[in-house]
Structure 1
Amino acid sequence: MTVIRALAFDVFGTVVDWRSSVIAELERFGRDHGVSADWPAFADDWRAGYPAAMDRVRRGELPWTKLDGLHRMILDDLLAAQDISVSDEDAEHLNRVWHRLNPWPDSVAGLIRLKQRYVITTLSNGNVSLLTNMAKHAGLPWDCVISAELFGHYKPDAEAYLGCAALLDVAPDELMLVAAHPSDLRAARDAGLRTAYVVRPLERGPGRTPPPAEDGEFDVLATDFLDLADQLGA
């Protein structure tokens, strides 16, 4: 079996708790502006809107657009649907909540351990500035920040996975994708990468079942990053 030389991490939901972070910021936004809404549902709708927005880029309906731009388009539509009117400056500050997401409790400690043995990088649809600012905010100790923005292809396009391996100068099967989303892992596996499924049962809120995976479908199944470090000998 080929030796793993690098680990590439999906970020939203895998490394950071996007939902709780966004809900907390939306609640502050509501208090500051004297408006109310079902903020958990607003957060879910904001996140749910971005796959369709990416597909518009893939179909050529939109030019290549970094994730900040897609998030802002979705946000503007959601605010309009709620009849919430704020300044462009305030809307842009809210949009950048995705730069200020908080990590899961095990993320930083687990990454520090894994970093001792492997090159660790992001491989996210988030743009480079978003991922860099998030790392600064959350204390994420990446060796480098790799984004779909660098390839002009969002995951799950194969170009993102293969491009990450090429930038790190490793073979695809020397790179392991770590993610909480089986669909992402399946696309990485199909591109020749190794795979680690880290289950995040609270990503979409309490009482929701994590996406299922078949027994043995991925190279590693872990409960969190500390368990992943144990299994990978870090």
Structure 2
Amino acid sequence: MSFAVRALVFDVFGTLVDWRTSIAREVQLALEPRGLQVDGPAFADAWRDEYQPAMEEVRTGRRPFSTLDVLHRRNLDVVLHRFGLDAAVDEPLRVHLNRAWHRLDAWPDVTPALERLRGRFLVAPCSNGNISLMVDLARRNGWHWDAILGAEVARDYKPKPEVYLAAARAFDCAPHEVMMVAAHSSDLAAAAAAGLRTAFIARPDEHGPGRGEIQASVPVDLQAADLADLADRMGA
């Protein structure tokens, strides 16, 4: 590479974890024993569709900062109502369902590739997920971070510049010494605008088979087929 990168920071939902399959599984495991039939993937999609609108309330200042766990819970109540499940899902089950985001499974390439990358670079999530959520995902999937960064540290949500810049400051790095790694062109465009380097990871099945991004639609420093390919390209 013709540029010096000291740290890699990662988007998590979609880039490192298969949130759709995991949430669909968790919803069905929680509801079907109670005799509640639900289309797990459709429920996962509906829940995820509330993600950006909820964060936009914070980004625009209409709501004070709340962690993603809090936003996910508000969104869960909306989706349960939409699916006609209000009366059938009690408070303890709602709490359990909301914690499903803490039980997401990594894409198969992620855990070994992260370990390789950590041998050469500082590594951390730069996610909209809160710290406890990131800790639980790391413990579940065997990840070893050098720090946990992102929205809760910055007290705002991507793609606001402060989220990326706070991550760079936490590692005592200039923005150009940090590379944002993500499967979403919009995330990478925002990181680049804040001065970070960028790497795109293809996740063609994030939103279902063939319904994820396969290449960046914005200029990036690197494009990779998966995280193992990125580790190869970064000399890790």
If the length of structure 1 is used for normalisation, what is the TM-score? 0.96
CA displacement at 1:140 relative to structure 2: 1.4
Residue 145 of structure 2 corresponds to residue 138 of structure 1: no
Residue 181 of structure 2 corresponds to residue 183 of structure 1: no
Residue type of the partner of 2:27? L
> After the TM superposition, which of the residue ranges 42-51 and 83-92 deviates more from structure 2?
83-92
The match for 2:30 is: 29
Task: Work out the number of aligned pairs and report it.
Answer: 233
The match for 1:74 is: 75
Return the alpha-carbon distance in structure 1 between the equivalents of residues 163 and 222 of structure 2.
21
Residue 197 of structure 2 corresponds to residue 157 of structure 1: no
Identical amino acids, percent of aligned pairs: 48
Residues 190-221 of structure 1, C-alpha deviations (whole Å, 9 max, x = no match) = 00000000000011111325265348x11000
CA displacement at 1:22 relative to structure 2: 0.5
Q: Which runs of 5+ in 1 are unaligned?
A: none
Residue 199 of structure 2 corresponds to residue 196 of structure 1: yes
Return the alpha-carbon distance in structure 2 between the equivalents of residues 48 and 169 of structure 1.
35
The match for 1:229 is: 231
Instruction: State whether residues 189 and 195 of structure 1, in contact with CA within 8 Å, keep that contact through their aligned partners in structure 2.
Output: yes
Instruction: State whether residues 108 and 141 of structure 1, in contact with CA within 8 Å, keep that contact through their aligned partners in structure 2.
Output: no
Return the alpha-carbon distance in structure 2 between the equivalents of residues 208 and 174 of structure 1.
32
CA displacement at 1:59 relative to structure 2: 2.7
Return the alpha-carbon distance in structure 2 between the equivalents of residues 88 and 211 of structure 1.
39
The match for 1:108 is: 111
The match for 2:151 is: 148
CA displacement at 1:139 relative to structure 2: 1.1
> After the TM superposition, which of the residue ranges 3-12 and 202-211 deviates more from structure 2?
202-211
Q: Which runs of 5+ in 2 are unaligned?
A: none
Instruction: State whether residues 53 and 70 of structure 1, in contact with CA within 8 Å, keep that contact through their aligned partners in structure 2.
Output: yes
CA displacement at 1:58 relative to structure 2: 2.3
Residue type of the partner of 1:87? D
Residues 21-66 of structure 1, C-alpha deviations (whole Å, 9 max, x = no match) = 1111111122122111222111001111110011112233322111
The match for 2:39 is: 38
Residue of structure 1 aligned with 2:208, choices 201, 205, 209: 205
The match for 1:60 is: 61
Residue type of the partner of 1:61? R
Instruction: State whether residues 182 and 211 of structure 1, in contact with CA within 8 Å, keep that contact through their aligned partners in structure 2.
Output: no
Residue type of the partner of 1:151? A
Residue type of the partner of 2:12? V
- RMSD, matched Cα: 1.3
The match for 1:89 is: 92
Return the alpha-carbon distance in structure 2 between the equivalents of residues 207 and 194 of structure 1.
27
Residue type of the partner of 1:224? D
| Ranges of 4+ aligned residues in structure 1 off by more than 6 Å | none
Return the alpha-carbon distance in structure 1 between the equivalents of residues 214 and 65 of structure 2.
29
